[in-house]
Amino acid sequence: MAVIMDGKALSIKLKNALKNEVDELKNSGVNPCLAVIIVGNNPASKIYVNNKKKSCEELGIKSLEYALPEETTEEELLGIIDELNKNEEVDGILCQLPLPSHICEKNVINAISPEKDVDAFHPENVGHIMIGDYTFLPCTPAGVMEILKEYEIDVAGKNCVVVGRSNIVGKPMTMLLLKENATVTVCHSRTQDLASFTKQADVLVSAVGKPNLITADMVKENAVVIDVAINRLDSGKLCGDVDFENVKEKASFITPVPGGVGPMTIATLMKNTVTSAKKKVK
Ligand code: BQF
């Protein structure tokens, strides 16, 4: 039976430490501020944006919410981003993804000033992550690395398998594991015989979005299993990619959904916002 890795508890611990940093910043006259833009009515996006606002409140970070209607044009959105780029009060800017299909995500990501890009999606920040010298951490992958650190799991020399190759999770996850000297294999929708790879994994990270994609027969005995996905079942319940009930009997460590990686994504976002605000201290 695996140790269940409590991302929720760790996120609270990290946010408590960040709260002290926010208090210190305020004492030196700097008020951290995060601007969150949401376009349209995607119900999951609304929940995520609320989670971000709530964490800002807990830490004493000011949050500005721009809830824009579905019909917002790309031009209007880019105009708001431009204003926020110029607004010296604002330390971090994020635009909640996905965007409605008439807006080009690439144009939006490229419009956010790299200095305020707390999601680390701008190509300039992606480049920094690739080189391994960066200020803004990629939120979800950095959250995963914090969980591994908390449970004293050293990935150096281990076989790590990342399932999923998105720009948001899979690719930056690969870079962070590589930085810590793991041997990393990336699997994706076109991988032939996924199980032949996952069975070799000492550390398995799944970021796909398919319930029960990872079953117990695909997992090596005593593997560390990190479930990054958030799937909403018809029942309304959340689950990840991993068949948790069966895999937990075989793994040595496993993250639950909810309460695993998700809260750590938000904690990293708060950390990036504080990092950005710190640049203002004279
Ligand atoms: C939890 C996200 C897919 C696509 C876009 C806590 C979050 C989720 C779960 C959360 C996510 C997922 C976010 C839990 C932000 C993580 O208790 O398990 C927090 O708010 N997340 C996002 O902003 O965009 C996404 C997943």
Percentage above 70 pLDDT, the chain: 100
Residue 260 has pLDDT above 90, yes or no: yes
Percentage above 90 pLDDT, the chain: 100
Active-site option among 6, 15, 91, 96:
96
Segment 85-97 shows an average pLDDT of: 98
Tens of pLDDT, residues 139-157: 999 999 999 999 999 999 9
Q: Supply 14's token pair.
A: 């990290």
pLDDT-derived band at 248 (thresholds 50, 70, 90) equals very high
Question: Whole-angstrom Cα distance, residue 142 to residue 111?
Answer: 23
Strand-pair category, 231-232 with 238-239:
antiparallel
- Which residue's entry shows tokens 């299993």? 225
DSSP symbol at 211:
T
Of all protein residues, whose CA lies closest to atom 4 belonging to ligand 1? 97
SS (H, E, C) 88-106: CCCCEEEECCCCCCCCCHH
Taken in order 20, 25, 28, 32, is the CA torsion positive or negative?
A: negative
Tens of pLDDT, residues 39-61: 999 999 999 999 999 999 999 99
**Is there a catalytic annotation at residue 200?**
no
pTM of the predicted structure, to 2 decimals: 0.98
pLDDT at residue 251, as a whole number: 98
3-state secondary structure of 206: strand
Strand-pair category, 203-206 with 224-227:
parallel
Q: How are the residues of the chain apportioned to helix, strand and coil, as percentages rounded to the nearest 5?
A: 45, 15, 40
Amino acid sitting at position 31: N
Tens of pLDDT, residues 166-178: 999 999 999 999 9
B/e letters for 26-37, b = 16+ CB within 10 Å, e = fewer, are: eeeebebbbbbb
Tens of pLDDT, residues 11-41: 999 999 999 999 999 999 999 999 999 999 9
pLDDT-derived band at 262 (thresholds 50, 70, 90) equals very high
- Residue 266 CA to ligand 1 centre (angstroms): 8
| Beta partners for residue 186, in sequence order | 162
Q: Report H helices in 91-214.
A: 105-111, 123-131, 139-150, 170-179, 194-198
- Among 150, 105, 110, 219, residue whose Cα is nearest residue 11: 150
- Assess whether the C-beta atom of 230 lies below 6 angstroms from ligand 1: yes
Residue 282 has pLDDT above 90, yes or no: no
For the chain, the average pLDDT equals 98
The gap between the terminal CA atoms of the chain, to the nearest Å, is 51
- Residue 229 CA to ligand 1 centre (angstroms): 9
